[in-house]
Amino acid sequence: MRRRISTRERVDIFNRNNGVCHLCAGKITAGEAWDVEHIIPLAQGGDDDGDNLQPAHRKCHAAKSKQDATNTARAKRREAKHLGAKTTARPLPGSRASGIRKRMSGKVERW
- Residue 105, number of CB atoms within 10 A of its CB: 5
1 pLDDT band, cuts 50/70/90, is low
Higher pLDDT residue, 90 or 60? Answer: 60
Which domains are assigned to the chain? 7-110 (1.10.30)
pTM value? 0.67
pLDDT in tens, 62-110: 999 999 999 999 999 999 989 988 877 888 877 888 888 888 999 988 8
pLDDT in tens, 5-47: 899 999 999 999 999 999 999 999 988 999 999 999 888 888 8
Q: Are 109 and 98 in contact (CB under 8 A)?
A: no
